[in-house]
Structures are given as C-alpha cells and as structure tokens.
Amino acid sequence: MATFPVINLEKLNGEERAATMEQIKDACENWGLFELLHHGIPHDLLDTVEILTKKHYKKCMEQRFKELVARKALEGLQAEVTDMDWESTFFLRHLPESNMAEIPELTDEYRKVMKEFALRLEKLAEELLDLLCENLGLEKGYLKKAFHGTRGPTFGTKVSNYPPCPTPDKIKGLRAHTDAGGIILLFQDAQVSGLQLLKDGEWVDVPPMRHSIVINLG
C-alpha cells in the first residue's frame, strides 16, 4: 500500500512548488487525508495548547469521565460496546459567534490560547482552500466564498481526550465515522497512534508526528 501522504508546506516557496502542489492534488484525490509539516502555526503555541488541554482534562473532566462514562461502559461488560465512545470531549464554537465566554471551567489563559489557536487554524484553512482552488483551476477565494453561506462560515473546535482504557479490545476510543464539514484540521497526540482512515477496504494508521496538522477533507 502507498505511504500515507505527509506534505511540507515550506516547499511551496521554492523550486519544489509544482511537485508539492502535485502531492496535495494526489492526497486529495486518493486519500482525503494528509499530514502537514511547516504549516505556519508556531510550535510553542501547539505545545501550550497541548499542555493546557491536558491540565484542563485533569482538573475539570477526568473525574466526570470516570463517573459518567467509564463506570457505565465497564459495568457488566462482556461483549464489544458499539453504542458509545471511550472519549472525553467539549466543544468550542468560534464562528459565526464564539461560546468560549459561556464555558465557566476554562481559565483565562486557556481561553486566550485557544482563541489564538483558532485564529491560526482559520488562517491555515483559508490558505489550504486557495491551494485547492489552484489545483482545481478555480479563481482564488472561490471555495472560501462557497463555504461562507449567508451567515458566514461555521467554525468550531472539538477538544478530545482519550484516557487509557482497561478493555481496549471491547471499547473503541471513537467508532468508525465520516466527518461532516468542508475541511477539518486536526492537532493529534504526537506519541500515541490512534487515528486511522479506511482506504481501499483497509484501515491505515495516520502516523503521529510532533507539531503536524492532519487535514481531513470532510
């Protein structure tokens, strides 16, 4: 099987631009997912997002997960669980209106960092949409306009933690699914592999790479 596509966006600025655009084209046509390196989001910001997210889970969500999810899932467990995910999540809405001020458990520092992270993701998403336009022979801004709608784009962040599971053979962190939306940008754990995609009837691992952003054409 072909190697999962990893694309270095820095190469768009030099002699390898044409080859890199071809890489993006192939990844879109044949994979639907690809991983970006040197995407412009500062590494120290990504590190801070990771640290604060783990702190927030420990302080505000871990006990709730144990009481509401883990206990229910493990009680009398015999067969594979198919109606729930071993996942602790919360949602941040950025556009058309932010809901961050409405989530009382977030610290001011975490709100500030996630706001900056969202702005960087939005900028990267718009850059990617224009690269897709270029590959498709469309005018710059065409896809952004298409996603804009009458009220502007809808943009949010799903923040997920996947605690260690005592019965990983019976409960999946996240069941097989198809993402909704136009373009999904994922900042995944850099050490633990878990994300997979279905390609040609086989599940393929998306390799964890430090400071990378995974792109999913939902």
Domains and CATH numbers, the chain: 43-191 (2.60.120.330)
Distance CA(188)–CA(173), nearest Å, equals 14
- pTM of structure: 0.91
* pLDDT tens digits for range 42-97: 999 999 999 999 999 999 998 988 887 777 767 766 677 777 788 899 999 999 89
Tokens of 108: 């001011």
Q: Could you give the percent of the chain with pLDDT greater than 90?
A: 66
pLDDT of residue 181: 82
pLDDT 10s digits, 187-218: 998 888 889 999 999 999 999 999 999 999 96
**How far is residue 98's CA from residue 155's CA, in Å, rounded to a whole number?**
9
Contact 157, 94 (CB under 8 A): yes
Can you name the residues that pair with 159 across neighbouring β-strands? 90
Give which of 129, 131, 143, 133 is closest to 21, Cα–Cα.
131
Q: Is 129 exposed, middle or buried (0-12, 13-18, 19+ CB in 10 A)?
A: buried
Among 92, 72, 94, 91, residue whose Cα is nearest residue 83: 72
Q: Alpha-carbon distance 213 to 46, whole Å?
A: 10
